[in-house]
Structure 1
Amino acid sequence: MVRFAVVVAAVVLLVLAVIWGFQRRLIYLPDTAAVASAATVLPGARDVVLEADDGVRLGAWLMPAGEPDRGIAVLVANGNAGNRASRAPLARVLAAEGLTVLLFDYRGYGGNAGGPSERGFARDVRAAQRYLVHQAGLPPGRILYYGESLGAAVVTELAAEIPPGGLLLRSPFVDLAAVGRAHYPFLPVSLLLRDEYPLADQLGTVRAPVTVVFGADDSIVPPEQSRTVAAAAPMLKNLIEIPGADHNDPVLGHGPALVAAVVELADQVARTS
């Protein structure tokens, strides 16, 4: 019996060690191939290069606003999968509403050097914000941070340090451990995670208007987590639940309710900045 218990314990420890070592491969699902030029995928946009403070260079596209130009830019932080090309439809519809849009890929995505991590993504999103301020010439208060799923945590961390004009969180989670427990209730997720993304806690320090958009049938981020995030926002402007929408449905990616939420937040920023 003792020998059996020792064997079981050894197997459990081995499994946990494997999960510890390979967890980022489970969390981050990058499309690592180089992305085509902006002109090929998003006509009207131009290719730009961002540089993080550790020297990592990041591919990006800047989509200028259509007319009439609202004088507001949207910094888009992607979720954990794909690359910026899959966010082109969002940039297209937002630009048609008079918003400038910056799409970029994190390190390890879209042909960029490096590997994904919470600390690395924090550097990457700061490079995007710096570009909009210093190269595109937009005041910080006229930039909206838009975060999709994991990207919602990325822009919330940024907003806690560098306040935007407004913050839109699409399908946000409380923190990464909370999502992990929802999918792997049999694992000690909190003890295993190397990246934490404490979104809800950080949101409590953000002093900017916040809109939360989520799908009622989200199978990746439980809808109750998005509601909890909204409750943590000191300056919640709007909470929008899209009936029947799952995590990766187009209606949540670039649908009319989502676009209307971004435009409404941009109009509030324009009135107050």
Structure 2
Amino acid sequence: MRTVIVSAAVLGGAAVLLGGLVWGGQRSVIYLPSGGEPPPAGDVVQGAEDVVLHTDDGLELGGWYVPAAGQDRDAAVLVTNGNAGNRESRAPLAQALAQEGFSVLVFDYRGFGGNEGDPTEPGLTADARAGLDLLRERGHDGDRILYWGESLGAAVATNLAVEEPPAGLFLRSPFSSLADMAGSHYPVVPEAMLRDDYLVRTTVADLHLPVSVAIGESDTVVPAEQSHAVAEAAPDLVEELVLPDTGHNDLAMVHGPEVVDAFVRLADEVL
């Protein structure tokens, strides 16, 4: 009996320890800032400006404002990044969108790109809201601002769209929820232990605004079936773009002509 009690105590202690590690360390797995503080905007994208975003909770975030380089559409794009890197890695996307006539804001969340703060779901939504505020300060009307959300950023853009609906919402490689992602990659982690939710599919289902979804059919980071589920949930789906034999971080998916063209079609639909 004593052996049983000791074994149960050891197992219980191990479970508590594991739970503490999962609870305390999960955000270091979800949010992966890298690359440090980016160089000046003009050194990377011609004509781009360094800007500072001011969040509701008092943080200052670095960003780049890239004015339209092609025929100006009098429209702007708020780009919400995925969970890794910094805004420098989104420079080719910003350039591609600017060449299509859009002004573009790329920025780094709290804890990314040399910014202060720690990433959380409410925090990243506040960061995106600060980006929207900056675009408005630059004279862009809300009904001519679109969101481009990439992976985790698709969840951030979707959250922002609830309180600040854009003219159109472009979701690149969205997951259906953080719990679904955990189930795909870390099936031993109980859903109840997740500190963030990112209920993308459920939230999109309640959004009555034009949505396009881009999916890499060979995505091993965000399973394609999750992105398909998001597209199926959208009441006002404009387009579901599927790129066969394309992975999550393939350049065709990140800033390739097919995804950029799909975004332009969304803009043409709503502007």
Per the TM superposition, whether the score is higher than 0.5 is yes
Distance 1:176 1:24 in 2: 12
CA contact (8 A) 1:32 1:108 kept: no
SS at match of 1:158: helix
The alpha-carbon distance between structure 1 residues 32 and 66, as it changes in their structure 2 partners (threshold 3 A), is closer
1:186 aligns to what?
Answer: 188
CA RMSD in angstroms comes to 1.1
- The residue correspondences of 1:71-86 to structure 2 (distance < 5 A) are 71-86=74-89
C-alpha displacement at 1:67, in angstroms?
2.7
Residue type of the alignment partner of 2:251? P
Distance 1:55 1:215 in 2: 37
Q: TM-score, normalised by structure 1?
A: 0.96
C-alpha displacement at 1:32, in angstroms?
6.2
Distance 1:94 1:211 in 2: 16
Farther-moved stretch of structure 1 (52-61 vs 63-72): 63-72
CA contact (8 A) 1:32 1:112 kept: no
Distance 1:128 1:48 in 2: 10
Residue type of the alignment partner of 1:215? G
C-alpha displacement at 1:52, in angstroms?
0.4
CA contact (8 A) 1:230 1:236 kept: yes
Distance 1:162 1:93 in 2: 25
Residue type of the alignment partner of 1:184? Y
SS at match of 1:62: strand
CA contact (8 A) 2:63 2:107 kept: yes
Residue 261 in structure 1 maps to residue 223 in structure 2: no
Residue type of the alignment partner of 1:177? A
1:164 aligns to what?
Answer: 166
- The residue correspondences of 1:48-127 to structure 2 (distance < 5 A) are 48-127=51-130
CA contact (8 A) 2:120 2:196 kept: yes
Distance 1:205 1:197 in 2: 14
CA contact (8 A) 1:93 1:259 kept: yes
Q: TM-score, normalised by structure 2?
A: 0.96
1:18 aligns to what?
Answer: 21
Superposed CA deviations along residues 86-125 of structure 1, whole A, max 9, x for unmatched, are 0000011111111111101101111111111111111100
Superposed CA deviations along residues 195-240 of structure 1, whole A, max 9, x for unmatched, are 1111111112222100000100111111000011111111100001
Residue 147 in structure 1 maps to residue 149 in structure 2: yes
CA contact (8 A) 1:143 1:164 kept: yes
- The residue correspondences of 1:224-239 to structure 2 (distance < 5 A) are 224-239=225-240
Size of the aligned set, in residue pairs, is 268
Percent of residue pairs bearing the same amino acid type:
50
Residue type of the alignment partner of 1:152? A
SS at match of 1:75: strand
SS at match of 1:197: coil
CA contact (8 A) 1:71 1:142 kept: yes
CA contact (8 A) 2:22 2:189 kept: no
Farther-moved stretch of structure 1 (201-210 vs 1-10): 1-10
Residue 130 in structure 1 maps to residue 133 in structure 2: yes
Distance 2:157 2:77 in 1: 11
Residue type of the alignment partner of 1:28? Y
Tell me, which stretches of 5 or more residues in structure 1 are unaligned? none
Residue type of the alignment partner of 1:172? P
Tell me, which stretches of 5 or more residues in structure 2 are unaligned? none
Distance 2:31 2:42 in 1: 27
Residue 245 in structure 1 maps to residue 254 in structure 2: no
Distance 1:149 1:201 in 2: 16
CA contact (8 A) 2:52 2:60 kept: yes
